[in-house]
Amino acid sequence: MPGQDTELRTLESAEDVAPEGVSATGAGAGLPGEQEEATVSPAELEKLKAEFELLKTERDQLVDRLARVQAEFENARKRSERERLEFRDYAVGNVVEQFLPVIDNFELALKATGTAEQLRSGVELIVKQMEEILRQLQVQQVPTVGVQFDPRQHEALGTIERDDLPDQHVAEEVRRGYKLRERLLRPALVRVASNPKQTSE
């Protein structure tokens, strides 16, 4: 019938323009203030509680693990410091032990009642004893007289005019320098030759 066809077309047009999820036939559906309250079933609630307890347990385990790692790190640091000090004391003890006989010989020399020449001979023997100990420790003297001045190993106290030595070579040693293998322990104090024959050329 013509009237019914018009009504059907009107309903179809209303469904076409209705927003998705909103029924055109539902009066007042989707209006503000009329949203349905979300409900959680008891099974879902129990599941959420179980997940929460699991996460809480994992968090507590991680916090405990972090505390143990921090304690282990602190213990390792203290142990390393203690071992470093023990090694230093051991190394120093070994060196001091080798010099104790030298001190004994110095004390004997001081108690001696011999002549000045005998005392000098005794001190020379003690110096040789000390040099031997230094050699065993791989401590060497810095070469001086006759070698070219090297600011990395020598410390100049001044110059001396000398025509028998090349210019800028060590003429005198004031104080010995020492090095441990290639490491300089202290520079040698020297006076450097200034050769007027070479400087005037």
> Tokens for 64?
């405990």
Q: What is the pLDDT of residue 78?
A: 95
Is there a domain that residue 48 lies in?
A: yes
- C-alpha distances in angstroms, 189 versus 20, 166, 192? 98, 19, 10
Is pLDDT of 8 > 90? no
30 Cβ partners below 8 Å, 6+ apart?
19, 21, 22
Per-residue pLDDT of 38-60, as tens digits, reads: 687 888 888 999 999 999 999 99
Q: What is the pLDDT of residue 105?
A: 92
Instruction: Using DSSP, state whether 142 is helix, strand or coil.
Output: coil
> CATH number for the domain including 171?
2.30.22.10
**Does one domain contain both 112 and 70?**
yes
Q: What is the pLDDT of residue 36?
A: 53
Is there a domain that residue 90 lies in?
A: yes
Mean pLDDT of all residues belonging to the chain? 84
**Does one domain contain both 48 and 122?**
yes
Q: Which residue among 97, 119, 137 closes a domain?
A: 137
Per-residue pLDDT of 110-126, as tens digits, reads: 888 888 898 899 999 99
In terms of residue numbers, what domain contains 106?
43-137
> Sorting pLDDT into bands at 50, 70 and 90, what band is 21?
very low
**Does one domain contain both 47 and 133?**
yes
Q: Which residue among 119, 137, 155 closes a domain?
A: 137
**Does one domain contain both 57 and 88?**
yes
**Does one domain contain both 132 and 52?**
yes
Is there a domain that residue 165 lies in?
A: yes
**Does one domain contain both 97 and 86?**
yes
Q: Tokens 């050769």 — which residue?
A: 195
Q: What is the pLDDT of residue 141?
A: 95
Q: What is the pLDDT of residue 29?
A: 47
Q: What is the pLDDT of residue 113?
A: 85
DSSP string, 54-79: HHHHHHHHHHHHHHHHHHHHHHHHHH
For the chain, what is the domain count? Answer: 2
**Does one domain contain both 110 and 132?**
yes
- Rounded Cα–Cα distance for residues 66 and 172 (Å): 65
- Rounded Cα–Cα distance for residues 170 and 183 (Å): 21
Q: What is the gyration radius of the CA atoms in the chain, in angstroms? A: 48
**Does one domain contain both 131 and 194?**
no
